[in-house]
Amino acid sequence: MTNSSYVLDANVFLEYIYGRPLQGQAKQIFEDAVLEHIQIMVPSLALDEITEVLCGNLNEITDVERHLKFIEKMAEADVLSIIVPNIQTRMKAIEIARSGNPKSGYPELTDALYHALAIMNDAVFITNDKRHIAKVAVFGHIAMLSDYA
């Protein structure tokens, strides 16, 4: 991938945290951002989504806190930009969410917010959600986490 700006889906963080099959690619993205080879950003709702998954899946509250502090430290170090979507981004997300059809289904608005943020910032939305990509590929600015080299 040659783009230098990426919007990361919450599932990228979860691949890293839980040691899932694409942990290596997720780790590479974070390393590239720390080394300032790329810029990474997320919509503010990513924090809520990550917190929800950690809350429901980690028994030790200290583990939840440790992972959230990791994300907070990345933001404080300007490695990760956490962005509250503006009205233009929200309207693009609505356009994306309404782009499906009854047969194949409609994109979820939360996924569309990540994607819209990428489009509005000339970035690439990195996700592990094949179904979302299939529904919205026409909008561009999207790639599978597995494709990150």
pLDDT in tens, 21-46: 999 999 999 999 999 999 999 999 99
3-state secondary structure the chain: CCCCEEEECHHHHHHHHHCCCCHHHHHHHHHHHHCCCCEEEEECHHHHHHHHHHHHHCCCHHHHHHHHHHHHHHHHCCCEEEECCCHHHHHHHHHHHCCCECCCECCCHHHHHHHHHHHHCCCEEEECCHHHHHHHHHHCCEEEHHHCC
Angstrom CA distances, 79 to 74, 84, 145, 149, stand at 5, 17, 19, 19
Average pLDDT, consecutive stretches of 10 residues, N- to C-terminus, the chain (149 residues): 83 92 95 95 96 91 93 95 98 94 86 97 95 90 94
Q: How many domains does the chain have?
A: 1
Domain of residue 105: give its range: 5-147
CATH number of the domain residue 103 falls in: 3.40.50.1010
- For the entire predicted model, the pTM comes to 0.92
The 10s digit of each residue's pLDDT in 4-22 is 999 999 999 999 999 899 9
